[in-house]
Chains A and B, each alone.
Chain A
């Protein structure tokens, strides 16, 4: 997109990105609309799982499934909130009026969602280790961190796209989860399978590389798709 007036050059991507990220941080610090809710939700969900499964300690498949389902649902809360301020309070209009490249909005939203998820996991993973996990978390930590990073990446690329797709519909809170959950099933599948040997009761097993590669490939493909189609969501 060329600048509106020929004398003004389009601002540099890094500058725009920094400005947008500062804006996101300020909005979140003023409203506390997403991250505290996500973190609290994850802890509450662990408590729910404790009562629903009637289990005091989990390991292996079950532990990995509970952890990932909780993270996924908490992430959905963040995805639902990601674009709300922009849609309701003119953030989109303000951004589109500026001569900045539209992809920068995608980058800034993706980084914001990533930051949401990192803070969420900073709360949720220790809480999970404390409340439900039977084996010690320390030997599992390296493998868990790698899986979390790749899983976050998948949630970020799909969440940003679906968040933008759903936010300007009349039923955004319903459509967001309904569209994103089927798209996130492969992420959940790969991440849960990669995590379960790491959380095994008999001690942390080796990280299954096949699932991590599949997950990375899925992240890459959907990253490219999101990059390709995101601009079309921002045309009015």
Chain B
């Protein structure tokens, strides 16, 4: 279901990322103040935007999960948050490198975007421990969704409040992007944003495909009577996809089920 057209998507992502990097390094002009260092902007800022959008998507999927009680929405929310956490580490690392290069310090408390991002990461770092600490899969999914909704709402609010709290001491690259950036910067920036989003989507679909395939495999094994896998219910932070062998969207699972009684 998630595996459809995955290869073309992956190839497009690869091409877009390559193009972005080539353009960023060889075509976009060097920044007047920051010089070559400013190139990290094309990595850092789109990565951060995609990460935050991923967290918010995780919250929206969690709302859908609480409304429909469909475990697939919980899986979507889980994979989104999980992936955004990985991306978020990248954001903090690139942000730190950029801060060291342009302001001479690894960390700067007067930069509101960096601080609010750290807060969001600290909050989301508890998502997996929360899931792991609840054994019952149904309750785990429900509680994780409540967390994902709350944290998803925290993302924009936190940004507003932390930004209010700090004076604008530093040149804001993101805030006045359309006003200050010359054409080439803008083109490369938006291209980079698109390719980062594509990267996120590709990885998200890869993980969804993998999780979905193993759930189908488990359903098939169960239908065939060999439930070795079910014998050991391990505690896990990963959502349990309840694919009844008959209710699989692809129909492959139902083929397995009809074969089972014979």
Contacts and interface: CB of A to CB of B under 8 A. Distances in A.
Contacts of A183: 123, 150, 154
B122 interface: yes
B130 interface: yes
A214 interface: yes
A189 B161 contact: yes
A170 B135 CA distance: 8
Contacts of A222: 150, 153
Interface in B94-143: 119-120, 122-123, 125-126, 129-130, 133-136, 138-139, 142-143
Nearest to A162: B150
Nearest to B165: A189
A214 B158 CA distance: 11
Interface residues of B, number: 30
A110 interface: no
B10 interface: no
Contact of A161 (B122, B126, B150): B150
Contacts, number: 81
B119 A185 contact: yes
A182 B119 contact: yes
Give the size range of A's interface with the partner.
20 to 34
Most chain A CB inside 10 Å of its own CB: which residue of B145, B161, B164:
B161
Contact of B129 (A161, A178, A189, A221): A178
Contact of A221 (B130, B135, B145, B157): B157
B66 interface: yes
A233 interface: yes
B133 A165 contact: no
Interface in A152-203: 161, 165-166, 168-172, 174-175, 178-179, 181-183, 185-186, 189-190, 193
A236 B147 CA distance: 17
Contacts of B164: 210, 214
Contacts of B130: 165-166, 169, 175, 179
B109 to A, nearest CB: 12
A225 B154 CA distance: 10
A229 interface: yes
Nearest to B134: A169
B146 A182 contact: no
B133 A170 contact: yes
Interface in A187-235: 189-190, 193, 210, 214, 218, 221-222, 225, 228-229, 232-233, 235
B149 interface: yes
B161 A179 contact: no
Nearest to B143: A165
A186 B158 contact: yes
Which 5 residue pairs of A and B lie closest in terms of their CB atoms, listed nearest first? A169-B133, A182-B123, A186-B161, A182-B122, A170-B133
6 contacts: A169-B130, A178-B129, A185-B158, A218-B157, A229-B150, A233-B146
